[in-house]
Amino acid sequence: MATRSPTIGLIANPVSARDIRRVVANANNLQIADRVNIVLRVLAAAGSCGVERVLMMPDKGGISAMLSRSLARERGLNHHFPDVQFLDMDVCSTVEDTFGATRRLRAAGVAAIVVLGGDGTHRAVARECGDVPIAGISTGTNNAFPEMREPTITGMAVGLYASGRLSDGQALSPNKILDVVVDGRHRDVALVDAVISTDRYVGARALWRTETLRSLYVTYADPGAIGMSAIAGLLEPVGRREPGGCAVELCPTSESPKWSLLAPIAPGMVRPVGISGWQRMGADQAFRVGHQAGVVALDGERELAFDPGDVVTVTLRENAFRTLDVSRCLHLAAADGLFRVSAP
């Protein structure tokens, strides 16, 4: 098995879970101290499993400063923390920080990138990570993509992979994306869902008004998820690793839809959604949006506005990027005895 450099990247979004869904629903809001605590747990676990160096995105939200103080205080408490270095880059507290940091981590040759954030943060990393795998930790509002898991366990799995004790074939899983193109000029991706809304402006980025929704496209649909993908999940579940996706046509409940579906579109927010029909999406099959104007929301956030005459297409791509399968990593490591240490 090839030995990799035990260096990983880490991107922690200091402002995830702070959108309008905190006002209109009962969404959570992690404080900076909570985020730093999560990072410390990842670092301690990754260090104990072989990671020697971590390259981390700096920020103006307070994570970098508080983490530096915490590391200085806790290094003597029997924790084997890796050497943490912050990337030399200017930050502006926008998604451009995540794009730029991901590109730098990729160029630095890190073995994997640990991401703290919601669906939007993971989408930004996936867009720029190339062949570098992602290990996601859920700290956002709607979290259909990153799984809910104790950060210590994620840190252990990353350490096993980064130190070369688990191979690509053992540790990594392929993922699908939605490739969205507006009139051949604007292009972006979604990890879980792309939604067409009649809203004409980006405005408050988060989606929460179901009466404006017209079409939904998903890479996978879990009935136990929350957010826009839950609509498809309650109609026709599609597995995360299963080929293909699903396209759903929506309409306001006031327009006598064929079905009305109760869906959990945000934490504490279950709303009726009008359904006109749905169909499976095949890989590389372009779906042309039939609506004349509106906004394309990617993973729950409005991103791309389009006008009458613009051509909008949504295409499912398979094997687009890789993620660390944390559960499989721990099972394989246990079966291979990687955690066993001979007694002196």
Tokens for 257? 């839809």
Write down the pLDDT at residue 5.
59
| DSSP type of residue 200 | -
User: Which has the closest alpha carbon to 104: 90, 92, 93, 116?
Assistant: 90
Whether 213 and 195 have beta carbons less than 8 Å apart is answered as: yes
Of 113, 137, 165, the domain-final residue: 165
Of 78 and 197, the structure prediction assigns the larger pLDDT to: 197
Quick check: is 253 in a domain? yes
| 290 — pLDDT class (breaks 50, 70, 90) | confident
Whether 45 and 153 have beta carbons less than 8 Å apart is answered as: yes
Are residues 13 and 148 both part of a single domain? yes
Give the mean model confidence (pLDDT) for residues 149-165.
96
Are residues 11 and 160 both part of a single domain? yes
Whether 57 and 98 have beta carbons less than 8 Å apart is answered as: yes
β-bridge pairing 301-306 and 213-218: unpaired
Domains identified in the chain, total number:
2
* Burial (Cβ within 10 Å: 0-12, 13-18, ≥19) of residue 53: middle
pLDDT tens figures, 19-44? 444 444 455 567 899 999 999 999 99
Are residues 11 and 119 both part of a single domain? yes
Quick check: is 329 in a domain? no
- How much of the chain, in percent, has pLDDT values that exceed 90? 67
Whether 314 and 180 have beta carbons less than 8 Å apart is answered as: yes
Of 143, 165, 187, the domain-final residue: 165
Quick check: is 78 in a domain? yes
Are residues 156 and 21 both part of a single domain? yes
Lowest mean pLDDT among 42-56, 112-126, 145-159, 193-207: 193-207
Whether the predicted pLDDT of 65 surpasses 60: yes
Write down the pLDDT at residue 252.
85
> Tell me, what CATH number does 24's domain have?
3.40.50
- How much of the chain, in percent, has pLDDT values that exceed 70? 90
pLDDT tens figures, 236-251? 999 999 999 999 999 9
Question: Dihedral of CA 30/118/239/155: which sign?
Answer: negative
Torsion-angle region of 67 (φ positive above 0: left; ψ -120 to 50: alpha; else: beta): alpha
Lowest mean pLDDT among 7-21, 135-149, 244-258: 7-21
The three-state DSSP-derived secondary structure of 284-306 is CCEEECCCCCEEEEECCEEEEEE
Torsion-angle region of 62 (φ positive above 0: left; ψ -120 to 50: alpha; else: beta): left
> DSSP labels for 65-99?
HHHHHHHHHHTTTT--PPEEEE------SSHHHHH
| 188 — pLDDT class (breaks 50, 70, 90) | very high
| 17 — pLDDT class (breaks 50, 70, 90) | very low
| DSSP type of residue 146 | S
- Tell me how many degrees the CA angle 263-122-20 measures, rounded to the nearest 5: 50
Give the mean model confidence (pLDDT) for residues 54-61.
95
User: What domain range includes position 202?
Assistant: 176-319
Give the mean model confidence (pLDDT) for residues 252-275.
88
Q: Which residues of 6-30 are buried (b: 16+ CB within 10 A; e: fewer)?
A: bbbbbbbbbbbbbbbbbeebebeeb
Q: What CA–CA distance (Å, rounded) separates 150 from 156? A: 10
User: Which has the closest alpha carbon to 145: 155, 154, 137, 153?
Assistant: 137
Whether the predicted pLDDT of 151 surpasses 90: yes
Are residues 158 and 16 both part of a single domain? yes
> Which residues does 285 contact at the CB level (< 8 Å), separation at least 6?
315, 316
Residues in the chain: 344
Ordered alpha helix ranges (H), the chain:
21-24, 32-48, 63-74, 95-108, 119-128, 151-162, 168-171, 229-233, 326-335
User: Which has the closest alpha carbon to 194: 214, 210, 211?
Assistant: 214
Write down the pLDDT at residue 21.
42
Write down the pLDDT at residue 2.
47
Are residues 88 and 51 both part of a single domain? yes
Write down the pLDDT at residue 302.
80
Are residues 143 and 184 both part of a single domain? no
Write down the pLDDT at residue 303.
84
Q: What CA–CA distance (Å, rounded) separates 310 from 135? A: 36
> Tell me, what CATH number does 308's domain have?
2.60.200.30
| 220 — pLDDT class (breaks 50, 70, 90) | very high
Residue 18 phi/psi, 5-degree rounding, is -130, 30
Are residues 134 and 275 both part of a single domain? no
Are residues 224 and 80 both part of a single domain? no
Are residues 207 and 266 both part of a single domain? yes
Of 165, 197, 229, the domain-final residue: 165
Write down the pLDDT at residue 301.
85
Q: What is the pTM of this model?
A: 0.89
Are residues 78 and 208 both part of a single domain? no
Whether the predicted pLDDT of 266 surpasses 90: no
Are residues 155 and 258 both part of a single domain? no
Tokens for 18? 């702070």
Quick check: is 334 in a domain? no
Whether 143 and 118 have beta carbons less than 8 Å apart is answered as: yes
